[in-house]
A and B are shown apart, each in its own frame.
Chain A
Amino acid sequence: MPNSLRPPVWRRLPVLLVSLALVAAACGSDDGDEPAGSAEGSGADEAGSLTVYSGRSEELVGPLLERFETDTGIGIEVRYGDTAEMAGQIIEEGDNSPADVFYGQDAGALGALSSEGLLAPLDAEVIGVVEEQFRSVDDLWVGTSGRLRALAYNTEAVSEEEIPASILDLTDPAWEGRLGWAPTNGSFQAFVTALRVLVGEDGARAWLEGIEANGVTVYENNVAIVEAVAAGEIDAGFVNHYYRFQLEADGSDMSDVENHYFTDGDPGALVNVAGVGIVEGTDEQASAERLVEYLLEPEAQEYFATETFEIPLVDGVEAAAALPDLTVLEQPDLDLAQLEDLEGTLALLTDVGVL
């Protein structure tokens, strides 16, 4: 009686799950670059292998980091995640962080780590190839590639001439109902911080309120903005320059989307960086230094120019043809270390009701 009451699948499910776990454990341990030893062993990293916390996704930098492994013979283990979350993780780990290197998507997170005293000084000579503006004043981190702020616009709805010379003039009522932004996005917040430095607290507030008064549409991130511009949902949006190109490479129809770059020291011409720092207390100092150096070598810079559509920061490597040259852009007069006061920016955004 009892057995006939239990259909076979019911008995199989737990057995199935457990055996699944076991089988997966068996195959999981013998392939991939993740040795079972380190998975089950201590959280601290193994000798001879460099642990990188990357806030840049594998899609963007995975191939480059693999190339580093082959070129240098240094074993590397990468943890991919969100830039701010990874930085938060290193802060929570404190002295016990297994991370040797932090590779982040914006200067703000690097700044936060350095002000927590969690980054070790870099070799000034190595990072000297990058302009001062794109590295920390105390040599704690260095930018590896540049990312421009841009106004992505739909060419069907906006003509290039229509776009004002300064990003500040987009508060004009002519732009009512046509714009989109992503206030939770790190790059956007960095831009607002720059705005506060350049035009003052009141100026930044007036701009935010003006754009808000124009009925700006709020998006979750840059990708959503560029897609909305492509779909004609909005006419233009504040983004980083490369998303248009990434979406195009992914197969989206971007024929109607163009980036406008502000120039002449306008706040809209801000250049942010992705950058790298060595985590204080690393036991892989030499390998970590080698990685920092590698990311600044021409091959890596070439990779950024051609694969991630970013701006190389080292002389002698050209940006992709579709992108403006940094020298032409004339960035606003500030250095990235001035962008550390994110808290003030968040407070302002919250106060204006944008966040």
Chain B
Amino acid sequence: MTLIEGVGGGDLAVPAPPASVATRRPATAATGAVVAAAVAVSVGSLVPAGYLVVRGSEAGLARMLEVASEGRTLALLVRSGLLALAVTAASVAISVPVAWLTARTDLPWRRAWVVLTALPLAIPTYVGGYAFVAALGPRGIAQGWLEPLGVERLPSIYGFPGAFLALTLFSYPYVLLTVRAALRRLDPSLEEASRSLGRGRLATFVHVTLPQLRPAIVAGSLLVALYALHDFGAVSLLRFDSFTRVIYTQYRGSLDRSAAAVLGLVLMAVTLALVTAELRTRGSSAYHRLHGGGARSAPPVGLGRWRWPAAAACGLLVAAALLVPLGVIAYWLVRGTTSADPLRLTLDLVGNSLQASALGAVVSLAAAWPVAVLSVRRPGLLASVVERATYVGYALPGIVVALSLVFFGARVAPAIYQTRTLLVFAYVVLFLPQAVGALRASLLQVPPSLEEASRLLGVHPFGTARRVVLPLVRPGALAGLALVFLTCMKELPATLLLAPTGYQTLATQVWGATSEAFFSRAAAPALALVALSAIPMVLLTRGEERQPPRRRPDGR
């Protein structure tokens, strides 16, 4: 039984093997179904790409090449690329130390920091962006506080600095969550061996811990980089001319769909290059193990006199990424209640938001399953093509994906057009990689030999998936659910264009109010949006916290 406990346990009560099965190569029977499902998912994910090709080619090949190779397009690409790079680097720089502090040390109020440092993800950038401008603008709230000190105006945050700051602070948790989860699952005995062989704490971290965290860092970084490429809220409010902003401008200004489509195709090519790079770094390392070495978690490191400075650093991060936006929303709320404006928060809005997002999360997870299984268990050309395809929707600006599904829905599938079905489909196309990534990370740590054992013992492939694999990947599955849920809650363009007519959500309500300057009317729904998105996050991080309880080798 030590074999099973080593990887986290689960329901492994299996019947006795019928003799005949033992001769068959395990798992192959399931492969056909998995492959078919994965291919179907990737075809669905490619709908926006098909649309872009259709619209782009209307302009003719010559014009397409002209737009794609214009100096301006290239300049945009460089600007957006630099932004994505900077945001990703900063996210890693924030996340690795914070993950270590909150997972491995005796940081004061550690449990609270575990939850709080993940929560900025619940803040939509189109709210956070307004908040940053209001708080840190040249004559914003912060300047008001500094006025007595003779500060007439703060340096402008518009452009690169503001977009960088907002994107980093609202997306770093993607890296934090994956790194922290990986850190908790690490086998402390490797680090202990390094220490006992005379390496210092820092050297051990750099040479032993960090390499083991690499897949988690890379996976999280990819999510952050693509987020920075496709996000519209932060770059528009903080006025940084990114690819996405220009694509929006094209659509909004001239309804010039073909030029916008060409830009979309360029952005898609960049994404695929990034995803390919990530696939390359994966290499062939194995991250699972069978022996019982991981059955305990590492003892917390004593921070000594660094305890309070470390807590202060966490505090600073949470203040900037969480308290600033929440403070500004609260200010809107107070301003609104004094002007006797009714709170625009109805049960209907809450219900619609929860319903669409929960469905989006559950269906995304189901769609992610075959993709993740294929990528982990049958790596190869097909798997990498399928996995890349799922990233297409994630990297494209929401408006492009939404319009492509308008095109597809109204012309090909009018029966589901502007129904919840198509809306949920849109969410899956948009956010699938979050579910695939989380699931994949967990699946990597499941030794294939466990599945093979189950198959050898005569359990049907689906039975094996349900009774052996699912319990083992539960943490990843739940993380995927929580991430997709929260991203769907914030989603705007697809919800506006594809939800059933009259189907309003918290996000559309917030957008409608802020776009007409009715900030106080946006406050209550915005607060509800953040609070409800935070719930799965809190459950997730608290569950994560309880996950590696000191399991004892005797199997309890």
Contact = CB atoms under 8 A, between A and B. Distances in A.
B399 A6 contact: no
Interface stretch (B16-24, B106-114, B175-183, B354-362): B354-362
B410 A6 contact: no
Nearest to B517: A223
A60 B547 CA distance: 49
A250 B556 contact: no
Contact of B543 (A9, A18, A184): A9
Interface string A13-27: 110111011011101
Interface stretch (A87-95, A130-138, A268-276, A290-298): A87-95
Chain A contact residues: helix, strand, loop or mixed: helix
Interface hub of B336, B403, B500, B536 (most chain A Cβ within 10 A):
B500
14 contacts: A1-B9, A4-B556, A5-B8, A7-B546, A13-B478, A24-B354, A28-B355, A32-B348, A34-B500, A59-B521, A92-B406, A94-B410, A231-B138, A233-B153
A352 interface: no
B137 A228 contact: yes
Contacts of B237: 220, 224
Interface in A1-56: 1-2, 4-7, 9-10, 12-14, 16-18, 20-21, 23-25, 27-28, 31-34, 38-45, 51
Interface in A50-99: 51, 57-60, 77-82, 84-85, 87-89, 91-94, 96-98
B359 A21 contact: yes
A92 B410 contact: yes
A226 B153 contact: no
A342 interface: yes
Given A10-B474, A94-B411, A96-B411, A21 B355 contact: yes
B427 to A, nearest CB: 12
A316 interface: no
A85 B516 CA distance: 16
A24 B520 contact: no
A355 B248 CA distance: 12
A82 B139 contact: no
Given A17-B536, A28-B351, A94-B411, A80 B254 contact: no
Contacts of B471: 2, 6
Given A7-B546, A96-B414, A355 B249 contact: yes
Interface in B53-74: 72
A150 B305 CA distance: 60
B513 interface: yes
Contacts of B153: 233
Contacts of B496: 79-82, 85
Contacts of A89: 403, 406, 497
A252 B520 CA distance: 9
Contacts of B399: 85
A306 to B, nearest CB: 16
Contacts of A221: 515
Given A13-B536, A89-B403, A94-B411, A232 B139 contact: yes
A65 to B, nearest CB: 11
Contact of A218 (B139, B239, B415): B239
Interface hub of B249, B410, B477, B542 (most chain A Cβ within 10 A):
B410
B255 A17 contact: no
Contact of B517 (A2, A77, A85, A246): A246
A231 B140 contact: yes
Given A25-B355, A97-B410, A88 B138 contact: no
B410 A220 contact: no
Contacts of B362: 14, 17-18, 21
Contact of B254 (A12, A97, A233, A342): A342
A81 B539 CA distance: 33
Interface hub of A2, A14, A17, A96 (most chain B Cβ within 10 A):
A17
Contact of A42 (B12, B137, B415): B415
Interface hub of A16, A32, A246, A342 (most chain B Cβ within 10 A):
A32
A219 interface: yes
Interface string B1-41: 00001001111100000000000000000000000000000
B195 interface: no
Interface stretch (B281-289, B387-395, B416-424): B416-424
Interface of A: 1-2, 4-7, 9-10, 12-14, 16-18, 20-21, 23-25, 27-28, 31-34, 38-45, 51, 57-60, 77-82, 84-85, 87-89, 91-94, 96-98, 109, 112, 184, 186, 189, 217-221, 223-224, 226-228, 231-233, 243, 246-247, 249-252, 342-343, 345-346, 350, 355
Given A184-B248, A250-B335, 17 more contacts: A2-B10, A13-B478, A13-B536, A13-B543, A23-B351, A39-B503, A40-B421, A43-B418, A57-B516, A84-B255, A88-B251, A88-B257, A184-B249, A219-B239, A233-B137, A243-B517, A252-B517
Given A17-B361, A39-B500, A251-B338, A189 B253 contact: yes
A186 B418 CA distance: 27
Contacts of A6: 471, 474
A2 B11 contact: yes
Which 5 A-B residue pairs are closest in the complex by CB-CB distance? A43-B417, A24-B355, A21-B358, A93-B410, A34-B502
Nearest to B336: A251
Contact of A233 (B138, B419, B519, B542): B138
Contacts of A17: 358, 361-362, 481, 485, 536
B196 interface: no
Contacts of B481: 13-14, 17
B419 A43 contact: yes
Contact of A251 (B248, B339, B347, B417): B339
Contact of B502 (A10, A77, A223): A77
Contacts of B322: none
Contacts of B478: 10, 13-14
B472 to A, nearest CB: 11
A152 to B, nearest CB: 12
Given A28-B355, A250-B520, A92 B403 contact: yes
Given A10-B474, A59-B516, A33 B355 contact: no
Nearest to B422: A43
Nearest to B159: A218
A355 B241 CA distance: 9
Contacts of A87: 255
A215 to B, nearest CB: 12
Nearest to A53: B501
B516 A60 contact: yes
A238 to B, nearest CB: 16
Contacts of A85: 251-252, 399, 403, 493, 496-497
Contacts of B72: 350
A233 B139 contact: yes
Interface string B460-487: 0000000000010011011001100100
B407 A92 contact: yes
